[in-house]
Amino acid sequence: MSALPSLLRLLEVGPGLRTGFLRLLSLEPVQRPGSTTMTAATADFARATDVDKGAAFLERLPVVLRDWIASFFPESLRWVVGALLAIAVILAVFGSLFALLTLAERKVLGRVQNRPGPNRTGPFGLFQPIADAIKMLTKEDVVPREADQVLHFLAPVALLGFSILTFAVIPYGRRLVPLELDAAVLYFFAAGAGTELAVFMAGWASHNKYSLLAAMRALAQLISYELPLLLSFVPVVMLAGTLSTSRIVAAQAGWTWGFLPHWHVFTPWGFAGFVIFMVAAVAESNRSPFDLPEAESELIAGHLTEYSGFKYALFFMAEYFGMIALSGMAITLFLGGWQAPLPFLEFVPSYVWFALKLLALLLGFIWLRATLPRLRMDQLTRLAWKFLVPLALVNLGTAAFWQLTAHWDGPLSAARWVVAAVLVVGPFLVLGRGLTAGIATRTYRYA
Amino acid sequence: MNPLQLCLMVSTGLFCIGLAGALARSNTILVLLGIELMLNAANLNFIAFWRYGPPSTPATGVLFALFAIAVAAAEAAVGLALIIAVYRHQKNIRLQDANTLKG
Amino acid sequence: MNLALLIIAFVMLGSAAIAMGLRNLIHSALLLIASWAAIAAFFLWAGAEFLAFAQVLVYVGAVSMVVLFAVLLTRQSRLDLNLAPVPFGRALGALIAGSAVAGILFGAILGTPLPAAAAPPPGLTVRQLGLQLMGTHAAALLVVGVILTVALLGAIVLASNEAAPKTPEAR
């Protein structure tokens, strides 16, 4: 038993990770020396990061449970136990959210299309995900003889691995961030960039020229929309002064005039950034209207054509996890994370607020799928390169203007809002008109 | 052998693997990948010295490695574009065939 | 010694060596990507978190894509990806050259008295990096930006197809 601590000391990984775990495990308040945020008052900031000074029991419940379970183990193993618990909880929660999301999507799509959706299996179709899982698990796993066996197997594994890795830095509650990294946002997007590799592996290993073409198109889409995604959160980092997700959430604490939260989405540049981020997130997770890579009605299944059974389910699990992770990051960056929208609503635990916001964004994803038609490949890439990237760059300038005029108050603050709004709406209109210049207006004829 | 020497030997090993690969292979893309390995080995060297060096230097090692990554990425892009241009001319990417100035 | 460092070094050197020796070009490229990921793990072990994530983002996320696209665009058929074996003389020469350089460098490393500071790794925050980048090294940052822009524009120009159609023959 005494050899274990020395064995663990051998695995001396980087200090940030280990002290991050230890900081998560201890109950000391997370002190930030010299906060540089300009948007949050010091008291709000302190309250956002403060420990359980009179916090409600429900709020402290996850941390109390984790400490109780970790207390069964010796001191040196506690960080391992904490990490394993976080992994288990994330997999359980988001796995079941994935299952319910497949059902919710089919029900919502059905209702939008004026039909009930699945309602046979169980009450309101609640056992439909279980039926889907049984179907996927019992299907024959067909691998083409000429396919690259190792790569064909590794592609869904790599995709799912990278998608789940991105969940580690999202703050789910007041002290519920699994991994406290100094460069958390960069970690999130680095792990997301690994998913592109898995798409290529899937297309290549199938030994099917149409799969390869579809994989190339999927990669072109993923790479094109990576740029607006990354550019849209740079203003957030600039204004919060940090790449750490928990500190970005804490920087959005407080309310002006008692009811308007300091969330980034309620500023002009933040609103534009949020919209650009969500459009790029829809494209990054291959969702309609950007789902040409996996369009069932066009390419059979694109780069997933040669996958059947559980591997196919793994690809879709990875897509939904990507959706959930990107929504979680959008909530962290723009919607104030786990914070309540109004001061008197703070009795609701922080993780419940996060869950509500997450469900709202996911409903938005499903709503978009039900409403908009699919974009063609060239329309897709033109939207990314000629519309979203210039808008994101102008948004960066708007955010810089906002930051530099933070000291304007009184009537000048109204001028600040007006100028920022013009800087946001103006390029949008100009670019939009420019891109739709030669196209005739659409006439709708109803049957 | 202290940890710094071990890290330096690891980076030397990577450098020499890249060197051997760049010298031996006749496929231009593999030569380029060997060169990328050599650049990465140099980055490893910088970080090894930053980790174990005198603690007075602020962040110079990390910054140098960051700039090296950026420049190496640009060089890889240009190199691969050159390979595509050469391929369009001679329809294969064997390095030995690219040494004649044909019209 | 340090178990984590040994595992990372083994993965890094092993995948690089196999990548340089394989005859299937796609497998070579993918093993090299694994080697780059192992290098990022080394950076993480040494405490340079930002650099590790930048390495993953740039190499595994972007340069790997460029390499794979180039591999696929420079072949006539799927068979072109199975390369001819390296002639024995050439391989032997390269191995001798590599080992000679390795031997010289190992000798130099083991010979010089290098002080390994027993201090814990320097905790580098992103804030300090940012202040350095925008303060002391601002000029270098701008120059690197210009380099990247110019290099990628040049790459696009080089790799794009022949532009103007030839004049039609007179009939």
At A117 the three-state DSSP class reads: coil
Residues contacting residue A416 through CB under 8 Å, at least 6 positions apart: A402, A405, A408
CA distance A131 to B91: 52
Confidence at residue A79, expressed as pLDDT on a 0 to 100 scale: 84
Could you report the per-residue pLDDT of C21-44, keeping only the tens digit for each? 888 888 999 999 999 999 999 999
C105 touches chain B (CB under 8 A): yes
> pLDDT confidence of A438, banded at 50, 70, 90?
confident
The structure tokens 């406290």 sit at A180
Instruction: Give C144→chain A minimum CA distance, Å.
Output: 18
* CB contact residues (below 8 A), chain B span 10-69, against chain C: 10, 12-21, 23-27, 29-30, 32-34, 36-37, 40, 43-44, 47-48, 50-55, 58-63, 65-67, 69
Chain B contact partners (≥3 CB pairs within 8 A): C
Confidence at residue A206, expressed as pLDDT on a 0 to 100 scale: 83
C51 touches chain B (CB under 8 A): yes
Cβ–Cβ pairs < 8 A, chains B and C: 230
**Quick one: which of A395, A378, A403 has its CA closest to A431?**
A395
Distance of CA C107 to the CA centre of its chain: 25
> pLDDT confidence of C8, banded at 50, 70, 90?
very high
Q: What topology does CATH give the domain B3-99?
A: Helix Hairpins (1.10.287)
CA distance B9 to A409: 60
CA distance A157 to C45: 25
Q: Is residue C130 part of a domain?
A: yes
Instruction: Give B103→chain C minimum CA distance, Å.
Output: 16
Q: Is residue C93 part of a domain?
A: yes
A58 touches chain C (CB under 8 A): no
Question: Is the pLDDT at A2 greater than 80, yes or no?
Answer: no
Out of B12, B61, B77, closest to residue C106 by CB: B12
Q: Do residues C10 and C61 share a domain?
A: yes
CA distance C169 to A67: 83
A14 touches chain C (CB under 8 A): yes
Instruction: Give B78→chain C minimum CA distance, Å.
Output: 5
- C-alpha angle A76/A80/A85, rounded to 5°? 135
Hey, what are A111's tokens? 């209702």
- C-alpha angle A178/A187/A84, rounded to 5°? 25
A197 touches chain C (CB under 8 A): yes
Among C22, C45, C51, C76, the strongest candidate for a mutation testing the B interface, having the largest count of B CBs within 10 A, is C51
CA distance A68 to A413: 50
> pLDDT confidence of A365, banded at 50, 70, 90?
very high
Q: Which domain holds residue C130?
A: 125-160
Question: Is the pLDDT at B89 greater than 70, yes or no?
Answer: yes
Asked if C39 and B36 come within 8 Å (Cβ–Cβ), the reply is: no
Q: Do residues C57 and C134 share a domain?
A: no
Question: Is the pLDDT at A334 greater than 60, yes or no?
Answer: yes
**Mean pLDDT throughout A249-277?**
89
Could you report the per-residue pLDDT of A202-239, keeping only the tens digit for each? 888 888 888 888 888 888 899 999 999 999 999 999 99
Could you report the per-residue pLDDT of A387-418, keeping only the tens digit for each? 999 999 999 999 999 999 888 877 888 888 89
Q: Which of A58-67, A83-92, A369-378 has the largest mean confidence?
A: A83-92
Residues contacting residue A136 through CB under 8 Å, at least 6 positions apart: A309, A310, A312, A313
Angle between helices B28-52 and B60-90 in degrees, nearest 10: 180
Handedness of CA A222, A225, A229, A234 (dihedral sign): positive
Chain C residues whose CB is inside 8 A of the B84 CB are: 70, 73-74, 158-159
> pLDDT confidence of C119, banded at 50, 70, 90?
low
Q: Is residue C97 part of a domain?
A: yes
Instruction: Give B39→chain C minimum CA distance, Å.
Output: 11
> pLDDT confidence of A33, banded at 50, 70, 90?
very low
Asked if A211 contacts A303 with a C-beta cutoff of 8 angstroms, the reply is: yes
Q: Is residue C34 part of a domain?
A: yes
Asked if C45 and A14 come within 8 Å (Cβ–Cβ), the reply is: yes
Residues contacting residue C39 through CB under 8 Å, at least 6 positions apart: B14, B40, B43, B44, C12, C55, C59
Q: Which residue of C has its CA nearest to A195?
A: C61
Confidence at residue A186, expressed as pLDDT on a 0 to 100 scale: 94
Instruction: Give C170→chain B minimum CA distance, Å.
Output: 24
AA letter at B59: A
Asked if C3 and A10 come within 8 Å (Cβ–Cβ), the reply is: yes
Hey, what are A228's tokens? 């607006």
> pLDDT confidence of C1, banded at 50, 70, 90?
low
Q: Do residues C35 and C72 share a domain?
A: yes
Handedness of CA A382, C72, C30, B73 (dihedral sign): negative
Give the CATH number for residue C53. Answer: 1.20.120.1200
Q: What is the DSSP string of C129-164?
A: HHHHHHTTTHHHHHHHHHHHHHHHHHHHHHHSPP-S
Could you report the per-residue pLDDT of A163-211, keeping only the tens digit for each? 999 999 999 988 888 888 889 999 999 999 888 889 888 888 888 888 8
**Quick one: which of A237, A282, A298, A274 has its CA closest to A424?**
A274
Instruction: Give C36→chain A minimum CA distance, Å.
Output: 12
Out of C59, C74, C98, closest to residue B19 by CB: C98
Could you report the per-residue pLDDT of C90-109, keeping only the tens digit for each? 899 999 999 999 999 999 99
What b/e sequence results for A287-310 when a residue is b if at least 16 CB atoms lie within 10 Å of its CB, and e otherwise?
Answer: bbbbbbbbbeeebebbbbbbbbeb
Residues contacting residue B26 through CB under 8 Å, at least 6 positions apart: B94, B95, B96, C84, C86, C90
C16 touches chain B (CB under 8 A): yes
Q: Do residues C96 and C22 share a domain?
A: no
Chain C contact partners (≥3 CB pairs within 8 A): A, B
Could you report the per-residue pLDDT of A84-123, keeping only the tens digit for each? 998 999 999 999 999 999 999 999 999 999 998 888 888 8
Domains: count for chain C = 3
Among C20, C53, C55, the strongest candidate for a mutation testing the B interface, having the largest count of B CBs within 10 A, is C20
Confidence at residue C164, expressed as pLDDT on a 0 to 100 scale: 52
Q: Do residues C41 and C74 share a domain?
A: yes
Chain C residues whose CB is inside 8 A of the A196 CB are: 61, 65
> pLDDT confidence of B88, banded at 50, 70, 90?
confident
Confidence at residue A11, expressed as pLDDT on a 0 to 100 scale: 46
Q: Which residue of B has its CA nearest to C73?
A: B84
Average pLDDT, chain B: 89
Chain B residues whose CB is inside 8 A of the C156 CB are: 81
What b/e sequence results for A137-162 when a residue is b if at least 16 CB atoms lie within 10 Å of its CB, and e otherwise?
Answer: eeeeeebeeebbeebbbbbbebbbeb
Using alpha carbons, list the distances in angstroms from residue C162 to B102, C74, C157, C165, C166: 18, 16, 10, 8, 10
Q: Is residue C20 part of a domain?
A: yes
Asked if C36 and B70 come within 8 Å (Cβ–Cβ), the reply is: no
Instruction: Give C58→chain A minimum CA distance, Å.
Output: 8
For chain A, the domains span 140-426
Q: Do residues C3 and C78 share a domain?
A: yes
Confidence at residue C165, expressed as pLDDT on a 0 to 100 scale: 52
Confidence at residue C95, expressed as pLDDT on a 0 to 100 scale: 93
Q: Is residue C55 part of a domain?
A: yes
Could you report the per-residue pLDDT of B21-70, keeping only the tens digit for each? 999 988 899 999 999 999 999 999 999 988 887 766 678 889 999 999 99
Confidence at residue A373, expressed as pLDDT on a 0 to 100 scale: 86
Residue C105: enclosing H or E segment and its boundaries?
helix C88-111
ipTM for this prediction: 0.91
Average pLDDT, chain A: 83
Provide long-range contacts, Cβ within 8 A and 24+ apart, for C123-129.
Answer: C123/A15, C123/A16, C123/C47, C124/B59, C124/B62, C124/C47, C124/C48, C124/C49, C124/C50, C125/A182, C126/A182, C126/A183, C126/A242, C126/A243, C126/A244, C126/C50, C127/A241, C127/A242, C128/B58, C128/B59, C129/B59, C129/B62, C129/B63, C129/C50
CA distance A348 to A355: 11
CA distance C28 to A95: 34
